[in-house]
């Protein structure tokens, strides 16, 4: 069934006509699945998972209980999120996995970031209004998720792709209950969704967002997942599915009479054929005796979190003021130096060195430093305390507010921290006709220019800089914590703040995740949630900080994190957001040994 809308009478709207439903005879569709309550914290044994969504967490748990490992379960959860969180995740997107292999006692990472088509140049995006670039074929990067899943499963999983896709297929077929977040995100995108018939037919039944409490089904996506499991990744990377995606990118299916300027994209089938997911060494810093592993470039997550931790460890004391200042300095360096290492000379070792951190830490005094902070000189020659030379300061690039993060562990002690995304909430807004998948808008993560020397300007085959920061912390060579978050560039500050809350400020992991947040990204004002302003506003204002509201939607929220902590008695604690983005879901395989 392709792009149909079920009416309240059980009829189907297809090309403007009412026809009988396609399922058996005149019987109504299957009853909705039972409603279950998601819980943000769970403790137990044998494996655990935390995601933003109950159905996705259940998909991972199903795989764990069938004998799969953490990588199998992580891919299953990501595929399920492509159904239930389609505005943040999907097979036409990309992401990063940080993975602890318990047998090898080693941390590795897999880069499934989207790439620019070969036809893209440094000036392709120059002068285009940001909103126009987002809702276009021009913003669509070569999808990385399917290659990501395939590489992850072949190298570290135990199940074939078709097996781990089964829970997602079932959710797409049977449907899930629409919550307030899904409804609100659809409403937020309704104007642009309405300009694409393939998108409107799926997400705006009857011209309106699906109501809260209704059951949402995506039979096209179920069929796409099922066929992907049979045909394998080559179906996308050069095969028929890839040709359908390219056709949609190059000629977006715009509604007749729409006035939106929807630019065609540059992607070719050859771009898909050339795509590879890459295994990379993680970033690593040691913070107070703990080894903190993150994602290396093209993500700026591991380098910026790591640099900020190094700066903080070089200070005589750590508090909220110091957290904001360390983040400010790390973002100045991130913006100046981090990009795709295949296209830019990223001084990663220097950025994460103790000498550079100490030099940067010297700039942090009792009051907020002047805006903007200039980037340092990670050149290997560091003095005890010197001021940086004047330099042009790149603007902090605005990134989409969404993405999603999940964490999984298994009975063997393997751990996966996985960020998956299609960029903006709703991606490009374009659904591939008959496939039920939203295309990403990842190429808007590039700097639009003109910006000579910027490491994040677009280029053929280049991966845009990301802020995704899946993080695993080891103590004595064994996992202690795994954390991550959505939120565009605020991902970095959210992960950093959770780590400080847990490791320095005496909070439990659930408290650290729930605590009010602030995000300083080398901007004049620090974005802060209302609870943070209430608790710390007067103190920080007196020190020269300026706090401002977090823009929406949803207004006032930063991130929707997930995490794991490995407790002393062999238990694992899975933690998801209690409230942000509607709250998340934490599950364990068993509450008993």
Report d(CA 428, CA 134) in Å as an integer.
5
Closest by CA to 356, choosing from 307, 309, 316, 312, is: 307
Assess contact for 198 and 253: CB atoms under 8 A.
yes
- Annotated active-site residue in 84, 135, 403, 444: 403
Report d(CA 300, CA 374) in Å as an integer.
18
Report d(CA 518, CA 550) in Å as an integer.
9
Q: Which residue's structure tokens are 């409603």? A: 35
CB neighbours (10 Å) of residue 449?
Answer: 17
Report d(CA 493, CA 510) in Å as an integer.
17
Report d(CA 23, CA 29) in Å as an integer.
7
Residues contacting 18, CB < 8 A, separation 6+? 7, 11, 12
Residues contacting 140, CB < 8 A, separation 6+? 249, 265, 267, 428, 430, 439, 440, 441, 442, 443
Q: Which residue's structure tokens are 């896709």? A: 165
Report d(CA 14, CA 11) in Å as an integer.
10
Q: Which residue's structure tokens are 């209950």? A: 177
Q: Report residue 480 as tokens.
A: 């202690």
Assess contact for 330 and 307: CB atoms under 8 A.
yes
Q: Number of C-alpha atoms within 13 angstroms, CB side, residue 475?
A: 9
CA 512 from centre of chain: 20
Q: What angle do CA 580, 532, 363 make, to 5 degrees?
A: 120
Query: Pairing mode, if any, of strands 106-112 and 471-475?
Result: unpaired
Active site residue 320: no
Residues contacting 205, CB < 8 A, separation 6+? 5, 6
Residues contacting 187, CB < 8 A, separation 6+? 209
CA 446 from centre of chain: 16
Assess contact for 193 and 426: CB atoms under 8 A.
yes
Assess contact for 217 and 177: CB atoms under 8 A.
no
Beta strands in 128-224 (DSSP E): 176-177, 215-216
Report d(CA 534, CA 542) in Å as an integer.
14
Report d(CA 61, CA 104) in Å as an integer.
24
Query: Pairing mode, if any, of strands 526-528 and 547-548?
Result: parallel
Could you tell me which residues are beta bridge partners of residue 536?
A: none
Beta strands in 198-320 (DSSP E): 215-216, 278-280, 283-287, 290-294
Assess contact for 329 and 287: CB atoms under 8 A.
no
| Residues with a known catalytic role | 403
């Amino acid at each position: 069934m392709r792009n149909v809308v079920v009416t309240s009478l059980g009829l189907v709207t297809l090309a403007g006509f009412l026809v009988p439903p396609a399922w058996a005879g005149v019987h109504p569709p299957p009853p909705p699945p039972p409603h279950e309550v998601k819980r943000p914290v769970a403790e137990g044994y044998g494996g655990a998972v935390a995601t933003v969504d109950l159905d996705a967490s259940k998909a991972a748990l199903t795989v764990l209980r069938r004998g799969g490992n953490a990588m199998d379960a992580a891919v299953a959860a990501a595929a399920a999120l492509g159904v239930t969180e389609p505005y943040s995740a999907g097979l036409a997107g990309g992401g990063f996995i940080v993975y602890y292999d318990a047998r090898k006692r080693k941390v590795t990472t897999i880069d499934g970031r989207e790439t620019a088509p070969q036809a893209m140049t440094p000036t392709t995006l120059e002068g285009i209004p940001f909103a126009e670039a987002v809702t276009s074929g021009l913003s669509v990067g070569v999808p990385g998720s399917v290659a990501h899943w395939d590489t992850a499963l072949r190298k570290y999983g135990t199940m074939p792709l078709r097996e781990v896709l089964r829970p997602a297929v079932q959710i797409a077929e049977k449907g899930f209950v629409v919550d307030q977040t899904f409804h609100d995100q659809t409403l937020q995108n309704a104007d642009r969704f309405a300009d694409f018939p393939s998108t409107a037919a799926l997400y705006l039944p009857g011209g309106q967002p699906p109501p809260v409490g209704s059951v949402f089904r995506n039979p096209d996506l179920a069929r796409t997942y099922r066929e992907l499991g049979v045909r394998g990744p080559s179906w996308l990377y050069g095969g028929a599915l890839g040709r359908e995606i390219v056709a949609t990118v190059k000629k977006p299916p715009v509604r007749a009479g729409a006035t939106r300027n929807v630019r065609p994209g540059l992607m070719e089938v050859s771009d898909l054929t050339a795509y590879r997911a890459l295994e990379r060494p993680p970033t690593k810093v040691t913070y107070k005796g703990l080894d903190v592993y993150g994602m290396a470039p093209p993500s700026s997550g591991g380098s910026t979190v790591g640099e900020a931790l190094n700066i903080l460890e070089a200070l005589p004391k750590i508090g909220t003021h110091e957290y904001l200042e360390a983040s400010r300095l790390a973002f100045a360096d991130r913006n100046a130096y981090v990009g795709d290492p295949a296209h830019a000379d990223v001084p990663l070792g220097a950025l994460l060195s103790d000498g550079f951190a100490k030099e940067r830490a010297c700039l942090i005094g009792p009051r907020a430093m002047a805006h903007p902070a200039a980037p340092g000189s990670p050149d290997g020659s560091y003095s005890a305390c010197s001021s940086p030379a004047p330099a042009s300061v790149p603007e902090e690039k605005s990134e989409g507010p969404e993405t999603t993060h999940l964490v999984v562990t298994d009975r063997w002690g393997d751990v996966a921290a996985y960020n998956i995304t299609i960029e903006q909430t709703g991606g490009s807004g374009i659904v591939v006709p008959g496939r039920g998948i939203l295309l990403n808008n990842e190429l808007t993560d590039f700097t639009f220019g003109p910006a000579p020397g910027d490491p994040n300007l677009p280029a053929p085959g280049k991966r845009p800089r990301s802020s995704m920061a899946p993080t695993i912390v080891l103590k004595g060579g064994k996992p202690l914590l795994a954390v991550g978050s959505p939120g565009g560039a605020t991902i970095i500050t959210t992960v950093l703040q959770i780590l400080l809350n847990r490791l320095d400020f005496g909070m439990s992991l659930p408290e650290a995740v729930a605590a009010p947040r602030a995000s300083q990204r080398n901007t004049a004002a620090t974005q802060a949630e209302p609870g943070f302003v209430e608790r710390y506003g007067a103190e920080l204002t007196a020190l020269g900080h300026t706090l401002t509201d977090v823009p929406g939607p949803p207004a006032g929220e930063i991130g929707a994190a997930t995490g794991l902590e490995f407790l002393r008695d062999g238990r694992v604690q899975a933690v998801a957001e209690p409230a942000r983005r509607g709250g998340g879901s934490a599950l364990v395989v068993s509450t008993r040994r």
